[in-house]
């Protein structure tokens, strides 16, 4: 098989593809960083709900003739705050469902009122390579920088609050505050990922790579690194495949990341079995 | 307000009301346990997966109901088996949803391409209760009956294993099997409501009335019935409002029924929250009875 | 969450509660608690379930505002003195898939409350090793926490609290879920470390027997009121009966103390 078939001309040279590479890389990095905490906190539902709900914001923006990215951002933040509003962790999946439902209801309304713009809005459902402009891509790199700073700042207190919330609370790390900040971080990642990967599937970048990493890694920094690598490789592979086949990026991202997770599970199961035969459990 | 006579005479409305009520009552009943068990994500995920399955079915030109149910049952099985603790269950749900949605997104995309109309996707995602084929009424009724019977059969062991899994195990209740069977019953209820009215509606009917009922009712059995009732109420009112909205100025366009039902269900929940809180202890006493 | 300068403890005491009352959910949980704890003192907080022991801990931690009275840690407001207090929670039930080693868990206690991330380095690693050594956990320092037993995790939580060099250590029901031997081990461990370093200890438990040997004084909580003093002073029928509000018997069985409720009361506070 010739390299031209896998890497056809234009994959790296077309301007829109260069934007896509830039945007995709930025999105993968942001999603992996935030995804580490998503999996740590068992917040997979929130990671799904926030981008899904943000789609309604884009539909609303189209309706009033505004910028879809702004619509995405606003609804991401609003749904994140809505989910955080109840506070109690036990209730959170219920609250997440209600917030998502409210957003989707509004989205249905906005969509029905403006079907003239449907193609642009539906592109946000599946993700489009073609849709990303150079300005958008650079904007995403900016969001990546923002996310890097946020994660760097939040790392210690959020880690402690996620692992041992009672002790962290006793030492002054407010569980409530960390929850809100975490969800806003998810909103940030959602706003970045939706234009590239689509509202339906951007959450798979936040969940599967980090979940795979957690199975393999032994320490948190290691988990973050592995998650980052998995996310980057997944997005790059998906871009190539999407370019070759003209099918949506979102589909490939979901498929590849899920595959990675499956492989990680198999690997860790094998490692367990091998390890169990050799080590003696400490007294 | 337009004449009620015209409303009831319209055949599309008749089908919508009948099918919708059947589906709403089962969703509401099942939903009480879904919310009680903290499985709202699974409930939502199954609805989304169902919608993706429906688009695949439309594309393949085959009867969507069985495709829905098959995919739904399979997904429910995977979600249940892949994770045991609460947080790893949500993770498992997320992974399964991701995979299924990925495939579904592919089909949805192809469908949009092929039919060249946004209407197809909107219908699948947000509901098409007014355009559903009346011939599915019988299969839907039968599957609803099946799901309800399963729920009735599972009621006591499910209640105990949801509230106190350790006690249940100690008494010999097969907690794992009960959980799986419940997931399958829920999948049936969710998939058929997704088929009839779209993913959004499916979730709205499953979670909203249940969340409201759990706050209002004194014990879980009452909550199950109340939840079913609230779901049917929201559905009927929603259909009525959607029908009326066609005649509202300025646009002779109509508002989507899923919007109304979602809004009504949310309203039900907010009103339930304002209701003076009963002692949670009383509910648990009643539930253990 | 600012890193506090370590103040010198007031000569008065490491912990002072005067007239502390707490109302939660309409219920009077604590009704006038007075206690003064000196540096290095071991105080066992005992009493039946629901007596308000956990609330007392939360008041000391500054997480619950007393409705009346004052709480002082080294003479200052508890919320400002968080750096001086180590807390070991009742249970720690981690996700089995957590990518965290024993030493990582302990290291969180060093600077987990500060913004940013730590850059590692030899001094940090040495501090973690020291903390692990003090609880006898060096052997499994690099094990993933999912592989550790309840007792081992308990020790790690103690190490996590100790690594920040607290002057006051709070333990919330550390003995539940442990077998008798592990209970004795952890009590001995905490007592000896505290003695070595002059750390005051407040250990909450509803079963008093494992700590009777090591505790200097006990704070017996019943119905929101407390009796404070040595074991002999407090564990007497007269004192406890007036606390409970009905007659209780204090029995000695093979060197262990059992409190039994009177004929009027259905609730039997039986400890064995």
Chain C residues lying within 8 Å of B82, measured CB to CB:
none
A:76-115 residues touching chain B, CB 8 A cutoff? 90, 93-94, 96-98, 100-102, 104-106, 108-109, 111-113, 115
- Most B CBs within 10 A among C26, C93, C95, hence the mutation to make, goes to C95
For residue C209, give how far its alpha carbon lies from the nearest alpha carbon of chain A (Å). 26
More confident site: B30 or B124: B30
pLDDT at position A276: 67
Q: Which of A129-133, C100-104, C144-148 has the lowest mean pLDDT?
A: A129-133
pLDDT at position A203: 92
Asked whether the predicted pLDDT for residue A27 surpasses 90, the reply is yes
Cα angle C139-C142-C148, degrees, rounded to a multiple of 5 = 75
> Mapped to the 3 state alphabet, what secondary structure does chain C carry?
CCCCCCCCCCCCCCEEEEEEEEEECCEEEEEEEEEEECCCCEEEEECCCCCCHHHHHHHHHCCCCCCEEEEEECCECHHHCHHHEEEECCCCCCCCCCCCEHHHHHHHHHHCCCCCCCCCCHHHHHHHHHHHHHCCCHHHCCCEHHHCCHHHHHHHHHHHHHCCCCCEEEEECCCCCCCHHHHHHHHHHHHHHHHHHCCEEEEEECCCHHHCCCCCEEEEEECCEEEEECHHHHCCHHHHHHHHCCCEEEEEECCEEEEEECCCCCCCCCCC
Q: Tell me if residue A177 falls in helix, strand or coil.
A: helix
- Most C CBs within 10 A among B85, B92, B279, hence the mutation to make, goes to B85
Asked whether the predicted pLDDT for residue B6 surpasses 90, the reply is no
Enter the pTM of the model. Answer: 0.85
For residue C117, give how far its alpha carbon lies from the nearest alpha carbon of chain A (Å). 5
Give the residue-averaged pLDDT of B153-182. 87
DSSP letter assigned to residue A9: T
- Name chain A's partners: 3 or more CB pairs within 8 A: B, C
pLDDT at position B134: 75
Which residues make beta-bridge pairs with C18? C70
pLDDT digits (tens, 9 = 90+) for C170-203: 999 888 878 888 888 899 999 999 999 999 999 9
Chain C residues lying within 8 Å of A42, measured CB to CB:
95
> Mapped to the 3 state alphabet, what secondary structure does B213-275 carry?
HHHHCCCHHHHHHHHHHHHHHHHHHHHHHHHHHCCCCCCCCCCCHHHHHHHHHHHHHHHHHHC
Q: Which of A21-25, A43-47, B81-85, C110-114 has the lowest mean pLDDT?
A: B81-85
Radius of gyration of chain A measured on its C-alpha atoms: 20
Chain C residues lying within 8 Å of B92, measured CB to CB:
none
pLDDT digits (tens, 9 = 90+) for A243-276: 888 888 888 999 999 999 999 999 988 988 887 6
More confident site: A241 or B129: A241
DSSP letter assigned to residue A281: P
pLDDT digits (tens, 9 = 90+) for B109-130: 777 666 655 555 555 555 566 6
Size of interface A-C (CB pairs under 8 A): 98
Residue A162 binned pLDDT confidence (cut-offs 50, 70, 90): very high
Q: Which of A198-202, B234-238, B279-283 has the lowest mean pLDDT?
A: B279-283
Residue C36 binned pLDDT confidence (cut-offs 50, 70, 90): very high
For residue A98, give how far its alpha carbon lies from the nearest alpha carbon of chain B (Å). 7
pLDDT at position C166: 93
Q: Which long-range contacts link B150-157 to residues 24+ away (Cβ below 8 Å)?
A: B150/B181, B150/B182, B150/B184, B150/B185, B150/B188, B151/B29, B151/B30, B151/B33, B151/B182, B151/B185, B151/B224, B154/B178, B154/B181, B154/B182, B154/B185, B155/B221
C-alpha atoms less than 13 angstroms from C-alpha of C16 in its C-beta half-sphere:
13
Chain C residues lying within 8 Å of B85, measured CB to CB:
95-96
Q: What number is the ipTM of this complex?
A: 0.89
- Residue ranges of chain C whose CB lies within 8 Å of a chain B CB: 95-97
Q: Phi/psi at B241 (nearest 5 deg)?
A: -65, -40
Tokens 């790199």 correspond to what residue? A141
Asked whether C51 and C226 are in contact (CB, 8 A), the reply is no
Which of B98, B119, B258 minimises the CB distance to A257?
A: B98
B87–C contact, CB cutoff 8 A: yes
With CA atoms as reference, the chain B residue closest to A40 would be B87
Assigned CATH class of A15-280: mainly alpha
Chain A residues lying within 8 Å of B202, measured CB to CB:
none
More confident site: B177 or C9: B177
Domains of chain B and any CATH numbers: 4-288 (1.10.3470.10)
pLDDT at position C5: 47
Asked whether B53 and B67 are in contact (CB, 8 A), the reply is yes
Which of B90, B97, B122 minimises the CB distance to A42?
A: B90
Closest CA to C165 of C117, C109, C120, C115: C109
**Residue A245 burial (10 A CB sphere; 0-12, 13-18, 19+):** exposed
pLDDT at position C257: 85
A157–C contact, CB cutoff 8 A: yes
C-alpha atoms less than 13 angstroms from C-alpha of B228 in its C-beta half-sphere:
17
- The residue ranges of every structural domain in chain A are 15-280
Interatomic CA distance for residues B124 and B51, integer angstroms: 6
Interatomic CA distance for residues B17 and B25, integer angstroms: 12
pLDDT digits (tens, 9 = 90+) for B70-109: 888 889 898 888 876 666 788 999 999 999 888 887 877 7
- Most C CBs within 10 A among A161, A164, A165, A215, hence the mutation to make, goes to A164
Report the C-alpha dihedral over residues A230, A231, A233, A234, rounded to 10 degrees.
110
Chain A residues lying within 8 Å of B204, measured CB to CB:
101, 105
Size of interface A-B (CB pairs under 8 A): 165
Mean pLDDT, chain C, whole residue set? 85
Interatomic CA distance for residues C245 and C243, integer angstroms: 5
CB contact (8 A) between residue A219 and residue C108 = no
Which of C61, C92, C108 minimises the CB distance to A170?
A: C61
Residue B195 binned pLDDT confidence (cut-offs 50, 70, 90): confident
Which residues make beta-bridge pairs with C31? C21
Q: Which of A10-24, B248-262, C124-138 has the lowest mean pLDDT?
A: B248-262
For residue B49, give how far its alpha carbon lies from the nearest alpha carbon of chain A (Å). 11
Which residues make beta-bridge pairs with C248? C261
A:61-100 residues touching chain C, CB 8 A cutoff? none
Which of C117, C152, C160 minimises the CB distance to A167?
A: C160
Interatomic CA distance for residues A211 and A31, integer angstroms: 12
DSSP A229-242: HHHHHHHHHHHHHH
Chain B residues lying within 8 Å of A119, measured CB to CB:
118
pLDDT at position B286: 35
Q: Phi/psi at C29 (nearest 5 deg)?
A: -85, -40
Residue C262 binned pLDDT confidence (cut-offs 50, 70, 90): low
Is the N-terminal amide bond of B39 cis, ω within 30° of 0? no
Closest CA to A264 of A224, A220, A218, A208: A208
Q: Which of B111-125, C146-160, C205-219 has the lowest mean pLDDT?
A: B111-125
The total of other beta-carbon atoms located within 10 Å of residue B126's CB is 25
């Amino acid at each position: 098989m010739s390299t031209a078939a896998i890497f056809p001309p234009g994959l790296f040279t077309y301007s829109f593809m260069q934007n896509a590479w830039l945007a995709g890389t930025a999105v993968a990095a942001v999603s992996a960083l935030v995804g580490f905490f998503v999996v740590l906190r068992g917040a997979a539902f929130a990671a799904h709900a926030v981008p899904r709900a943000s789609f309604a914001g884009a539909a609303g923006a189209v309706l009033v003739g505004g910028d879809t990215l702004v619509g995405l951002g606003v609804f991401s933040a609003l749904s994140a705050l809505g989910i955080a509003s109840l506070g109690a962790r036990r209730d959170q999946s219920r609250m997440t469902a209600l917030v998502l439902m409210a957003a989707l209801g509004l989205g249905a309304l906005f969509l029905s009122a403006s079907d003239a713009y449907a193609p642009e809005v539906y592109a946000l459902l599946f993700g489009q390579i073609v849709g990303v402009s150079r300005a958008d891509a650079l904007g995403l790199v900016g969001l990546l920088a923002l996310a890097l700073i946020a994660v760097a700042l939040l790392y210690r207190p959020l880690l402690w609050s996620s692992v041992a919330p009672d002790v962290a609370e006793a030492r002054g790390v407010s569980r409530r505050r960390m929850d809100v900040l975490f969800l806003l971080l998810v909103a940030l990642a959602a706003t970045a990922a939706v234009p590239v990967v689509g509202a339906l599937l951007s959450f798979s970048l936040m969940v599967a790579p980090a979940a795979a990493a957690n199975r393999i890694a032994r320490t948190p920094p290691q988990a973050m690194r592995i998650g980052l690598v998995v996310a980057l490789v997944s997005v790059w592979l998906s871009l190539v495949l999407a370019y070759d086949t003209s099918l949506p990026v979102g589909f490939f991202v979901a498929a590849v990341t899920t595959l990675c997770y499956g492989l990680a599970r198999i690997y860790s199961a094998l490692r367990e079995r091998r390890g169990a035969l050799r080590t003696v459990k400490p007294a | 307000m337009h004449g009620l006579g015209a409303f009831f005479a319209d055949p599309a409305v008749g089908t919508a009301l009948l099918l919708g009520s059947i589906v709403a009552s089962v969703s509401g009943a099942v939903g009480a346990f879904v919310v009680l068990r903290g499985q709202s994500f699974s409930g939502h995920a199954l609805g989304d997966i169902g919608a993706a399955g429906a688009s695949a079915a439309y594309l393949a030109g085959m009867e969507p109901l069985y495709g829905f149910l098959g995919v739904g049952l399979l997904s429910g099985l995977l979600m249940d088996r892949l994770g045991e603790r609460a947080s790893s269950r949500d993770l498992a749900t997320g992974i399964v949803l991701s995979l299924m949605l990925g495939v579904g997104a592919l089909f949805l995309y192809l469908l949009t391409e092929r039919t060249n109309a946004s209407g197809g996707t909107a219908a699948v995602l947000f509901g098409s209760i007014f355009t559903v084929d009346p011939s599915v009424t019988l299969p839907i009724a039968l599957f609803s009956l099946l799901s309800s019977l399963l729920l009735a059969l599972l009621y006591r062991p499910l209640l105990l294993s949801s509230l106190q899994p350790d006690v249940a195990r100690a008494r010999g209740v097969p907690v794992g099997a009960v959980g799986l069977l419940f997931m399958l019953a829920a999948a049936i209820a969710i998939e058929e409501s997704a088929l009839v009215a779209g993913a959004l509606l499916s979730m709205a009917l499953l979670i909203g009335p249940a969340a409201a009922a759990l706050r209002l009712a004194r014990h879980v059995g009452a909550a199950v019935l109340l939840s079913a009732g609230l779901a049917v109420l929201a559905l009927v009112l929603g259909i009525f409002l959607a029908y009326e909205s066609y005649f509202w100025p300025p646009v002779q366009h109509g508002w989507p029924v899923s919007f109304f039902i979602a809004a009504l269900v949310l309203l039900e929940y907010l009103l339930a929250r304002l209701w003076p809180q009963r002692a949670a202890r009383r509910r648990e006493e009643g539930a253990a009875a | 969450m600012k890193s506090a300068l370590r103040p010198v403890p007031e000569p008065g005491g490491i912990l002072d509660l005067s007239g502390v009352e707490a109302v939660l959910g309409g219920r009077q949980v604590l009704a006038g608690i007075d206690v003064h704890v000196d540096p290095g003192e071991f105080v066992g907080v005992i009493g039946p379930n629901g007596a308000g022991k956990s609330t007392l801990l939360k008041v000391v931690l500054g997480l619950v505002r007393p409705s009346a009275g004052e709480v002082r840690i080294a003479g200052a407001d508890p919320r400002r003195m968080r750096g001086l207090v180590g807390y070991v929670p009742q249970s720690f039930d981690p996700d089995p898939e957590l990518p965290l080693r024993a030493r990582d868990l302990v290291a969180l206690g060093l600077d987990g409350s500060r913004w940013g991330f730590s850059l590692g380095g030899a001094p940090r690693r040495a501090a973690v090793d020291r903390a692990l050594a003090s609880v006898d956990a060096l052997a499994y320092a690099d094990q993933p926490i999912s592989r550790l037993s309840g007792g081992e995790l308990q020790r790690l939580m103690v190490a996590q609290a100790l690594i920040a060099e607290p002057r006051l250590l709070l333990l919330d029901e550390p003995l539940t879920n442990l077998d008798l031997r592990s209970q004795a081990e952890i009590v001995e461990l905490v007592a000896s470390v505290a003695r070595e370093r002059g750390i005051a200890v407040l250990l909450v438990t509803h079963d008093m027997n494992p700590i009777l040997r090591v505790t200097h004084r006990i704070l017996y909580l019943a119905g929101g009121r407390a009796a404070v003093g040595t074991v002999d002073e407090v564990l007497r029928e007269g004192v406890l009966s007036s606390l409970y509000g009905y007659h209780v018997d204090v029995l000695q069985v093979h060197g262990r103390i059992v409190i039994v409720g009177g004929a009027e009361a259905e609730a039997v506070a039986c400890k064995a």
